[in-house]
Amino acid sequence: MSAFMKKKSGSSPVKTGGMFFRAKKHMASRLTDSSIGRQTVIKFFGHSGDSLLQSVQSVAEYVEGKEFAKQLMVDIMKIVGKVGLLYSNKVVSEESFEPIVPSLLEMASNLQYNLDLKDSSSRDGRAVADAFEKLHKILFNLIKDHMQEKNSAKLTHVCDYLKSSKHLDALFTDPHLEAQRITMHTHISRLVDPFSAEMEATNKNLREQSQKRFDKLSGLVANPTFPAFMRDIETRRIVTSWIMEGDSRDSVSQQHLFGCDFYVAVLDFKSITSKPIVKSRSSQICQNTEDFVRKDIFDPAVARIASLFEMLFEDSFKTCEAFEGLKEELRILELRLHIDVEEHHHEEEDNRQSVHDPGAGLGMKDLSLED
């Protein structure tokens, strides 16, 4: 238990941090509106962190306007200042901060990869957005008990903007932001340089995730069937999006949505292995019965639903916006995996050369003892 949350003998719990700490938090809130806020950023992240933030502000000003960008920087600096206080005053333990580093490295890796691509049409913000969302969850859970709701809400506001498609599309594709892209790539590289071993482990993990994702999507795109898309929550959402591309109030669309829900409910029911739960669900399905409902009782209805959707899949699903998005993601993944393989081969070749000739590439071949 944290030192400031321990109870004194015979008294109520001490408030987190005490009056002096709360005064420092108030000062941090006031000071981050000024140039001292930048000094706080420099203290924790160095001049590369400051330059990175200036690039973020420049992009935000281009995308959303000057006032929005100014407020965004105020919110970021307030968060940095207050989280810094939580850390330096040991309000939150160092162990609690440890999950932040892998999340930051994952975000940095995805940003670097996309900024490295010369073809802007091949850049994809989805992985970056997911990394921002992971970081948001970790930070929010870390600070929510130590900040007022209005301050923790600033973190959500910042992350919602940074992961938005409007921001990421502009950052990755707008030709007017080339200078900002170069600056961001340079300073992200400098910030993560001390974590080279951790970064390599992060990149390896991301490659494995990309390969699993690619293998899964390849099968779905090559042979899109209704049962295959109903196997997990994510692909079910794609089917739902396809249905909702029409008028969701239309009676046919409503029937299709109901059919999907029924199909999933039956799959869930058939997956139950606990007899008490099966009996409980049986009584919900068939009221006033104490008998077990056979798990295959709905098979004819499920088969009819699957048959209906298979025809719809052949007719319109393959050309819908949601499926096109899936194919585009598959193309991006294939490109990323191809680049990763090429880089891995280059690294292996460099390692082989360095073993046979330690001076290769360093200009040492031309040196001699006589020089």
- Of 190, 213, 236, which residue constitutes the final position of a domain? 213
Domain match, 209 and 140 both:
yes
Identify whether 126 is part of a domain.
yes
Q: Please give the Cα distance from 56 to 73 (Å, whole number).
A: 9
Gap between the terminal Cα atoms of the chain: 65
Identify whether 88 is part of a domain.
yes
Domain match, 128 and 247 both:
no
The per-residue pLDDT for range 67-104, each reduced to its tens digit, is 999 999 988 888 887 777 777 777 777 777 778 888 88
SS3 content of the chain, % helix, strand, coil (to 5): 75, 0, 20
Q: Which residues 6+ apart lie within 8 Å of 230 measured at CB? A: 236, 239, 260, 263, 264, 267
Domain match, 247 and 270 both:
yes
How high is the pLDDT of residue 28? Answer: 47
Q: What are phi and psi of 175, to 5 degrees?
A: -65, -25
Domain match, 136 and 185 both:
yes
Domain match, 231 and 190 both:
no
Identify whether 371 is part of a domain.
no
- Of 213, 231, 257, which residue constitutes the final position of a domain? 213
Domain match, 107 and 12 both:
yes
> Token match 């109903």: residue?
230
Neighbours of 64 (CB within 10 A): 17
Domain match, 230 and 205 both:
no
Q: Please give the Cα distance from 56 to 60 (Å, whole number).
A: 6
How high is the pLDDT of residue 352? Answer: 59
pTM comes to: 0.57
Sign of the CA dihedral running 37, 43, 44, 46: positive
How high is the pLDDT of residue 163? Answer: 93
- Report the candidate in 259, 264, 271 with the shortest Cα–Cα distance to residue 236: 264
How high is the pLDDT of residue 85? Answer: 76
How high is the pLDDT of residue 43? Answer: 72
Sign of the CA dihedral running 86, 92, 98, 103: negative
Identify whether 343 is part of a domain.
no
- Of 176, 194, 213, which residue constitutes the final position of a domain? 213
Identify whether 336 is part of a domain.
no
Domain match, 190 and 232 both:
no
- Report the candidate in 79, 198, 89 with the shortest Cα–Cα distance to residue 147: 79
For 181, counting Cβ atoms within 10 Å of its Cβ (0-12 exposed, 13-18 middle, 19+ buried), the class is buried
How high is the pLDDT of residue 162? Answer: 93
Residues of the chain with pLDDT under 70: 1-38, 40, 246-251, 282-295, 340-371
Which amino acid, 328? E
How high is the pLDDT of residue 60? Answer: 95
Would you state the structure tokens that stand for residue 2, as one six-digit string? 């944290």
Domain match, 161 and 273 both:
no
How high is the pLDDT of residue 21? Answer: 44
Identify whether 352 is part of a domain.
no
Domain match, 199 and 257 both:
no
Q: Please give the Cα distance from 72 to 53 (Å, whole number).
A: 10
Identify whether 247 is part of a domain.
yes
Which amino acid, 43? K
Domain match, 234 and 321 both:
yes
Domain match, 110 and 206 both:
yes
CATH code where residue 177 lies: 1.20.1440.160
The number of domains in the chain is 2
Identify whether 237 is part of a domain.
yes
Q: Please give the Cα distance from 368 to 196 (Å, whole number).
A: 33
> Which residues form the domain of 110?
3-213
How high is the pLDDT of residue 177? Answer: 92
